[in-house]
Amino acid sequence: MIGLKQGDKSESVAYLQELLERAGHTPGKIDGDYGSKTVAAVLACRKAQGSTANSGTPITGSAGAQIMTAFVKKVA
């Protein structure tokens, strides 16, 4: 799942969208299409996990480990 980005279309994207929704970040329709609403949900999730522009890593709409961390914290 890590490494997904806007424009991707797959079952992995649908799974990411489900995780985002469960973590409280609405990605829009869960359809496996990594569109602008999924990007916005990923950005919100990353910011909620403490990502900042000053962390040395730019905040992008690409999915990374922070999505999984947010999900695990939410359901734990």
Residue (of 28, 27, 19, 31) closest to 73 by Cα position:
19
* Residues 41-73 pLDDT 10s: 988 887 887 776 555 555 566 666 666 666 667
Contacts of 51 (CB under 8 A, 6+ apart): 57, 59, 66
Give the span between the Cα atoms of 45 and 30, in whole angstroms: 16
Give the span between the Cα atoms of 10 and 5, in whole angstroms: 11
Residue 5: inside a domain = no
Give the span between the Cα atoms of 73 and 59, in whole angstroms: 20
Residue 6: inside a domain = no
For residue 35, give the CATH number of its domain.
1.10.101
43: containing domain: 11-75
Residue 26: inside a domain = yes
Residue 3: inside a domain = no
Residue 2: inside a domain = no
Higher-pLDDT residue of 58 and 21 is 21
